[in-house]
Structure 1
Amino acid sequence: MPHSLSDEQLSQAIETMMVEQNLRGMQNLYAYQQTGTYLRAAKSLFDAKSTVLIGTGFAVKQTFETDGPVGAIALYNALITLGKNPILVCGNPLYSALKNEFNCFELPLNNFTDAMAFSKAALAELKPDCVLSIERPGLCHGNKYYNMRGIDISADCGCFDFFVSQASCPTVAIGDGGNEIGMGNLSQYMTELSIMPCLTCCDELLLADVSNWAAYGIIAFLSRWHSQDLLAEVDTLAILQYLSERGSVDGVTHKNELTEDGLHAMHGQQLIARLRQLSGVANQNEDL
């Protein structure tokens, strides 16, 4: 199927789409980025020979929020289709929730003192070809983790920051608020945001109104290059149901419900439909 947009044009369209609602100021931050972020990030994943580490899980009230794991699982499944070896890296309780169905690596909680040595040893063992972080809390001033309300949640967090900063392979990070890993790339521009900015940087930072959605933007490129509509396989509602049964909560409402950042699942589903059309991978005869 011919593509009406070049890869560069598609990336710019996706980048604009991802922050169009500007729920938490990401549209403002996007003005400071060089265009092509989604294209470059997707290329790093597509070119990975084998192992891709996907760090996810944001602590909320002794459990985990839905934003992050939904996109991580969607990416995981897409990478499996591409013949890669994805590994979900997360701490409990998310690790225990996912380990039976997915290849997972456990992050110890509240372990900052030993985190650097642990991360270097893990990188040496796992030998990733790409490291991606999606909605992982990032270290702020004082080497602490804070949620969107400015509350210190360090005791409930594992440290994935050094997996990103110490990796010798390409690193990608996704965030939607400013306190996530990778946002250190733009921390100097966050003075107007009501957030404790993360200081951890990455090679390629992807902004989105909801972090899960950025994963779908990446998968749009993987679909195009693999000549297979991988987005058609992403059932956000089913993934939300799977996570809900294992104790997830919405990061905004703190309720166990099938939503992400306070938004109904249909928002993500509608965005996927738009991405399938935009990228030229959707079956033109299919009713979206």
Structure 2
Amino acid sequence: MHIEQTIAELERVAAREVGRGSEALAAPAAGGLLAAARSLASATAPDAAVFTGFFIPGAEPPAAETDGPLGAVQIAAAVRLLGGRCRLVTDEPCAPVVEAAVAVAAPGLPVDVAPLRGYEEWAAALLPRYARLTHLIACERVGPGVDGRPRNMRGEDISAHTAPLDRLYASGSAFRIGIGDGGNELGMGRLPAELVGRVVAAGERIRCVVGADALLVGGTSNWAAAALVGALSLLRPEVPALRTLLEPTWSYDLLAAIVRAGAVDGVRRRATLSVDGLDWPAYAEPLALVAELVRAGR
């Protein structure tokens, strides 16, 4: 199978339907995985920031969800293996989970933590640095809807628990990659509003209006992140260490670590070894398929 065909298959695997319309949302975004991977793989010295962290205020106890930080760290680790630099970006409510993920899987990776109060001053201090970045990547990071407010899949306004990182994501001239699964994440503004409104429950209300240069749609955002790492591995076969990031055991160990740090399943709203209501066996199936496709595509 030609590499481009394999990457297209990775894109389809990542968009596996879990009951939220991901396959329909993925259709107009087709080709986004190849575009994103080519941009990163061809950069002489990629210098990226990955935005993540989706806070679940209704969880017991409230915390960041398991979808997002895992994929974000996976991407950041891949960028470093490519010889580039990377940092994660999140906000105070999500920081404990994101920092725990970094400590386990990417020690030394910088994490920029936005405050809920004093955000403007914090962002202004970072703008010169972010203006030099080659890539801005959002992995399951909620963004503003048509009314300017970030909302979860239940339509609940979570602006009181969410720093407006979309402003930093939309600044500068870096290549922007968006990764999401429900329509309310940064990058999803690239999709037709009518489609999100028709496919997603309360889609017109929760749809993020911030777009991206390349959009990856997953059944879970972590699956799309794994597909991106898989595509990078295919495009850069001289970096075999990328394949280690695709082994399901790598994801399992990181999932267990962030759950110990307080991460919750965003659907179940409690701390379990699951992602978006999927227990490990069901969640791991697409991860195993991505790894198999990459092995076979060499």
Place the TM-score, normalised by the shorter chain, in its bin: 0.7 to 0.9
* Counterpart among 42, 59, 62 of residue 47 in structure 1: 42
* Counterpart among 251, 263, 268 of residue 248 in structure 1: 263
The verdict on how the C-alpha distance between 1:273 and 1:247 changes in structure 2, with shifts beyond 3 A counting, is same
**Partners of 1:233 and 1:19 in 2: how far apart?**
19
Q: Deviation at 1:12?
A: 1.9
Cα pair 2:89 2:112 within 8 Å, conserved? yes
* Counterpart among 242, 263, 275 of residue 230 in structure 1: 242
Aligned residue for 1:286? none
Q: Deviation at 1:125?
A: 1.8
Q: Greater CA deviation, 178-187 or 144-153? A: 178-187
Structure 2 residue runs without a partner (length 5+): none
**Partners of 1:52 and 1:265 in 2: how far apart?**
30
Alignment TM-score, normalising by the size of structure 2: 0.85
Q: Which has the higher helix share?
A: 2
Cα pair 1:7 1:39 within 8 Å, conserved? no
Cα pair 1:138 1:198 within 8 Å, conserved? yes
**Partners of 2:144 and 2:179 in 1: how far apart?**
15
- Amino-acid identity (%): 30
**Partners of 1:282 and 1:36 in 2: how far apart?**
18
**Partners of 1:73 and 1:182 in 2: how far apart?**
18
SS at match of 2:244: helix
Q: Deviation at 1:145?
A: 0.9
Query: Which amino acid is the alignment partner of residue 33 of structure 2?
Result: Y
Cα pair 1:110 1:156 within 8 Å, conserved? no
How many residues end up aligned between the 2 structures?
Answer: 275
* Counterpart among 2, 19, 22 of residue 6 in structure 1: 2
Q: Pairwise mapping of residues 1-150 of structure 1 onto structure 2 (< 5 A)? A: 5-33=1-29, 35-48=30-43, 49-61=45-57, 62-97=62-97, 98=99, 101=107, 102-109=109-116, 114=120, 119=123, 121-126=125-130, 127-150=132-155
Structure of greater relative contact order (alpha carbons < 8 Å, 6+ residues apart) = 2
**Partners of 2:115 and 2:276 in 1: how far apart?**
26
**Partners of 2:278 and 2:65 in 1: how far apart?**
13
Structure 1 residue runs without a partner (length 5+): 284-288
**Partners of 1:258 and 1:77 in 2: how far apart?**
22
Q: Greater CA deviation, 245-254 or 79-88? A: 79-88
RMSD: 2.2
Q: Deviation at 1:22?
A: 4.7
Cα pair 2:93 2:161 within 8 Å, conserved? no
